[in-house]
Chain A
Amino acid sequence: MRAFTQFGSLLVGAARRRAAPGLAPVAVASRLRAAEGLAPLVVAVGLWALAMPNVDTTRMTDLGLISVLPPQVPLAILLIVASAAWHLRRDSVSVPFLTLHLVALVFLLYAMPTVVEAQPRFAATYIHVGISEYISRTGSVAPGLEARFDWPGFFILASFLSQASGFHSTMDLAGWAPVYLNLMYLGPLALIFRSITRDTRLVCAGLFLFELTNWVGQDYFSPQGLNYFLFLSIIGLVVTHFRTLKPASDRFREWLGARRRGARLLTSLYSLTAPEQLPAEDQPPQRQAGLIIAIVVIFAFVAFAHQLTPFFTVAALLALAAFNRITLRGLPILLGVVAVVWVSYMTVPYLSGHLAQLAQDFGQIGKSVGANVSGRVGGSPDHRLVVTLGIVFTLSLWIAAATGFLVRFRDGRRDLSMVLLAAAPVPLVAAQAYGGELVLRLYLFTLPFMAILASGVVYGRPQALPSRLRTCGIIAVCAAITLGFLVTRYGNERMDIMTTSEVLGVQQVYKIAPPGSLLVSPSGNLPWRAQGFEQYTYISQTYDILAGKPADLVNLMRTAGRPHSFLILTASQEAEAELFNGMKPSEWDAFVNQIIASSDFKLVYQNADTKVFELRSPAAAAPDSIADGTATMAASMQATPLLGFGVES
């Protein structure tokens, strides 16, 4: 650290000599101190920027991006964290200084794939772009075509924004989504954290920890990414402006006082409903009314834009209202009505096909947990390590949060609102497995509250500044967290990356295949459906077809009755088969060779990462069935559980 400070002194040496004549000595000294403090930040960004062009993603192993990252990259991230941690040792901390570090940290953590990969990552991104493109082109939604059209808010907004800002396509908004979304999260997060403490040190530590542990990767170009921001905004507004100032009920307390049997237990339970230490900000009634309307309007958009977030929001507000944390006790009911009305009236096309399955899964906690946790630990050895590390990472954060809560509790601070907000999403696990994704969502929706509670382990007592030794310990822990983050967040990068060859290959398919054709792939992990969303029939098979014979695949494709049928094989699908199914590269090659050798298929296009085969003499289709391709597509897509189709939305 001292070395960097000295380096900073060298950097600003010339400035010192030039600036001194025109400014007062105190101002000059203050500015120079600030410049010296920023030296590690400048060095970190420089290290990162110099190292990133050397990343060769083609050499990536099943450990993901970390396997090809130069050591300077984690070092740069750690340097920023260390600089901020060192600054937090001061008596008075500088908010602009820490904000600058936070912005740099977000950029370094979340811009990595955007910088090293030529195309937006995640197959789901291309589907979301395709839905937005459909809305832009037709000016309407198509609920019968795809379940996501039943919650179209995000796609309509994305379509509007891309057109209003003059972008060619929403794809232009997609690449940098993790960076700008994570920056957007910081505002409402600061609001939430400041509702329990005025200690800038703790608030900043919570924000840093949030960014270092947000590994679930839902902050891409997706309804979840945007709606998470809206969820945080609603919670931030409520806990900031509508905190309770009084006990839940004076009459109930008097009644308790008069009781003899069990009074102690009831009184201690009732004491949990006492308000937090910090009073709410005083607002005139008109402004409060305006805030309530704003909250309802934001929530109405959330209910219209995402299937899960409304229920997480209602659960969080319900927990706060039940324990007298907020004055708006009827708000969760109002918002619950809005959410249920949308689902029961506006998503009928989706519900009519999936309600029985949803009802069957309701309450199956064992099945849900199995699908979300044990069901994920599989595939190649490195992939299993990545998943295991994710579980360890999650449990460690939750344990740290419990410890932080106890540290603050011993110091006389209750933070019950944060505990309630962290616990509120848990019962939703019983509702659905959400395609094996619900535990990830659970982690996401508990993360802000876990992060601020966990920060309490070190910064929970405002009067106790961490010593040098302790700060070194914090930096060491942050180093472990940084490495853990890089493994868990980018551990599936081999399959999440969409290379230029793949994107060009799939674009070529749309040139070769006439509208009405059948497009088949072993999985949905490829950059398709970004155009012509309703004009083709898509089938994503499971990887079981790789173990079968080409004849089985031929029969399946002929059964669909399309005049032209194409099979698309890409590198990211191969990577997914190896990561998740433990398939060997030789097995994939054997399958491809079988298809090449088959007289039923003709190779019509290939590049480094894509092969496209056309089925020879597909079954003749009746004209009306071709026109009805949209319905066929909706029916033939792999059914995913939950309020549906969930993993990517």
Chain B
Amino acid sequence: MTTTVTHLTTRTLLSNSYDGLSTTIGIAVIGILALLLLVREFAPLLRGSAPGDTRALDMAIVPLLIVFATIVIARMAELLA
């Protein structure tokens, strides 16, 4: 299973141009990130809990933010090149 996932990921990344990746997978990543950030703001309202109880969401948000930053930096670098 692990090998299959790794193989598929590698194939997907290598078979597309950067522009293609950033406008397909990149958009999907950004969509999920925006959704999670929105849910993070709603969470205290919906559950009536304190704003601090969003650690589970943060665990997903932080890596996605890093991916988002990478996408943006790469796009800018491509434009500068």
Contacts and interface: CB of A to CB of B under 8 A. Distances in A.
A328 B44 CA distance: 10
- Interface size of A as a range: 20 to 34
Contact of B30 (A337, A348, A355, A359): A337
Contact of A285 (B37, B45, B65, B76): B45
A245 B39 CA distance: 21
A50 to B, nearest CB: 55
Interface centre among B30, B34, B41, B54 (most CB of A within 10 A): B41
A130 to B, nearest CB: 28
B2 to A, nearest CB: 31
Interface in B45-81: 45-46, 48, 51-52, 54, 61, 65, 68, 71-72, 75-76, 79-80
A189 to B, nearest CB: 25
A143 to B, nearest CB: 14
B63 to A, nearest CB: 14
A351 interface: yes
Interface stretch (A84-92, A148-156, A338-346, A495-503): A338-346
Contacts of B79: 348, 351-352, 355
Contacts of A3: none
Give the interface SS of chain A, mostly helix, strand, loop or mixed: helix
Contacts of A13: none
Nearest to B71: A344
Contacts of A345: 23, 27, 75
Contact of B38 (A288, A334, A341): A334
23 contacts: A285-B46, A285-B48, A288-B45, A327-B51, A329-B51, A330-B40, A330-B41, A333-B37, A334-B34, A334-B37, A334-B38, A334-B41, A337-B30, A337-B34, A337-B37, A340-B68, A341-B30, A344-B72, A344-B75, A344-B76, A351-B76, A355-B80, A359-B80
The 8 closest A-B CB pairs, nearest first, are A334-B37, A285-B45, A330-B40, A344-B72, A355-B79, A344-B75, A288-B45, A292-B41
Interface of A: 249, 285, 288-289, 292, 296, 327-331, 333-334, 337-338, 340-341, 344-345, 348, 351-352, 355-356, 359
Given A337-B34, A348-B79, 11 more contacts: A289-B45, A330-B41, A333-B37, A333-B65, A337-B30, A344-B71, A344-B72, A344-B76, A345-B23, A345-B27, A356-B80
